[in-house]
């Protein structure tokens, strides 16, 4: 009798519980639009009227909208933010915005670097590919997603000892783990340096942010190089590469040349929609000590483009300029 009573209780409770609402196109849209409006950190900086954008796309979506059409419209809506950290991911596609580099000169050719600067006998110190060129150590780092260890840094700085300078090339480095940026920058600073300030979006209001917090780099305890350093960047130097460029901007004996970075100064937040699609968008702001947003870019000290004639002759104009600076030519 007791067992039967419990069974009746659970049966009634099941009937009282409401099922999750169906993931209709309208419901999916509203969650994405609302969350971005509440937590995306750059609406005001980029002068984005998110309410008006929502009205435009809301009118195009109804209960018969197909998955492919819904994805296309949501992706178009997100692309109005012009942010490389904003993506929508489904089982059949991933949206992305590449305007931050497609509208600019490429200024990098991997084959040119491999054939004429790294060569077959370059050293592979973990992810740090390095070669000595005319008493200068050239270092090519292709992704901050590739982990740098203390042993890698020791190998690098040991080889740089006695050199006239070091070139760090992060052109076409799309970012990755920022911890690797801190590790690499620690090899070149002689003191603790505040390189930026960061704050987090906390609510839907324009001023709903945490207070600004310092971001610092610390000098390496073991591996250090005290000579001049040149950092090479281009518009495809994004996210962690932008943060790293800003770190290097604060080091007196470092010079940035090439083209401005592509930006990407917001740390992403993530979410999942009722239909299982996932998304991310920038939820922080990062500024330089003088108040400039690195979301837009970190500028170089000397603008240099890759000359097509040089490239045809196996010469990287930007690397050669860096060599000329370090060698006093």
In a domain? residue 168: yes
In a domain? residue 114: yes
Dist. CA 233–CA 247, nearest whole Å: 13
pLDDT digits (tens, 9 = 90+) for 182-213: 999 999 999 999 999 999 999 999 899 999 99
Tokens, residue 172: 């076409």
In a domain? residue 304: yes
pLDDT digits (tens, 9 = 90+) for 26-85: 999 999 999 999 999 999 999 999 999 999 999 999 999 999 999 999 999 999 999 999
In a domain? residue 60: no
Residue 221 confidence (pLDDT): 86
Asked whether residue 5 carries a pLDDT value surpassing 50, the answer given is no
Torsion angle defined by CA atoms of residues 36, 76, 67 and 41, in that order, rounded to the nearest 10 degrees: -10
CB 241 within 8 A of CB 261: yes
* Helices 67-79 and 50-58, axial angle in degrees (round to 10): 160
Asked whether residue 6 carries a pLDDT value surpassing 50, the answer given is no
- For Cα atoms 255, 172, 155, give the angle at the middle one, nearest 5 degrees: 65
Dist. CA 15–CA 17, nearest whole Å: 6
Report the relative pairing of strands 193-200 and 213-217 from DSSP bridges.
antiparallel
User: How much is the mean pLDDT over the chain?
Assistant: 93
Whichever domain contains 229, its CATH number is 3.90.226.10
In a domain? residue 200: no
Number of domains, the chain: 1
Q: Which of 98, 71, 101, 102 is nearest to 279 (CA)?
A: 71
CB 326 within 8 A of CB 231: no
In a domain? residue 144: yes
- CB burial of 101-130 (b: ≥16 within 10 Å; e: otherwise) equals beeeeebbeeebbeeebbeeebeebbbbbb
Residue span of the structural domain in which 249 resides: 109-188+224-262+297-327
**44 in helix, strand or coil?**
coil
| pTM > 0.75: yes or no | yes
pLDDT-based confidence at 20, cuts 50/70/90?
low
Q: How far is CA 315 from the centre of its chain?
A: 28
- As a whole number, mean pLDDT of residues 131-157 equals 97
In a domain? residue 272: no
Q: Which residues pair with 278 in a beta bridge?
A: 89, 272
In a domain? residue 195: no
- For Cα atoms 80, 203, 278, give the angle at the middle one, nearest 5 degrees: 50
- As a whole number, mean pLDDT of residues 268-292 equals 97
């Amino acid at each position: 009798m007791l067992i039967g009573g419990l069974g009746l209780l659970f049966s009634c409770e099941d009937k009282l519980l409401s099922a999750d609402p169906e993931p209709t196109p309208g419901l999916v849209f509203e969650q994405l639009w609302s969350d971005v409006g509440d937590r995306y950190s750059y609406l005001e900086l980029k002068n984005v009227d998110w309410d008006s954008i929502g009205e435009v796309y809301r009118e195009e979506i109804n209960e018969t909208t197909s998955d492919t059409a819904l994805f296309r419209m949501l992706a178009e809506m997100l692309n109005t933010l012009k942010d490389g950290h904003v993506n929508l991911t489904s089982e059949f596609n991933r949206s992305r915005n590449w305007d931050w580099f497609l509208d600019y000169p490429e200024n990098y050719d991997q084959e040119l670097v491999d054939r004429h600067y790294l060569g077959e006998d370059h050293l592979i110190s973990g992810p740090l590919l390095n070669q000595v060129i005319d008493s200068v150590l050239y270092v090519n780092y292709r992704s901050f997603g590739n982990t740098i260890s203390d042993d890698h840094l020791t190998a690098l700085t040991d080889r740089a000892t006695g050199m006239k300078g070091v070139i760090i090339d992060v052109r076409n480095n799309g970012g990755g783990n920022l911890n690797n940026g801190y590790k690499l920058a620690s090899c070149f600073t002689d003191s603790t340096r505040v390189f930026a300030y960061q704050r987090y979006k906390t609510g839907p209001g324009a001023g709903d942010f945490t207070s600004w917090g310092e971001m610092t780099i610390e000098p390496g305890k073991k591996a250090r190089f005290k000579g001049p350093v040149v950092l090479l960047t281009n518009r495809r130097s994004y996210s962690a590469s932008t943060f790293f460029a800003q770190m290097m901007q604060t080091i007196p004996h470092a010079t940035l040349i090439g083209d401005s970075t592509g930006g990407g100064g917001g740390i992403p937040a993530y979410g999942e929609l009722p239909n299982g699609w996932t998304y991310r968008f920038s939820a922080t702001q990062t500024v330089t000590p003088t108040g400039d947003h690195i979301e837009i870019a970190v500028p170089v000290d000397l603008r240099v483009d890759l000359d097509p004639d040089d490239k045809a002759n196996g010469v990287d104009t930007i690397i050669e300029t860096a060599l000329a600076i370090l060698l006093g030519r």
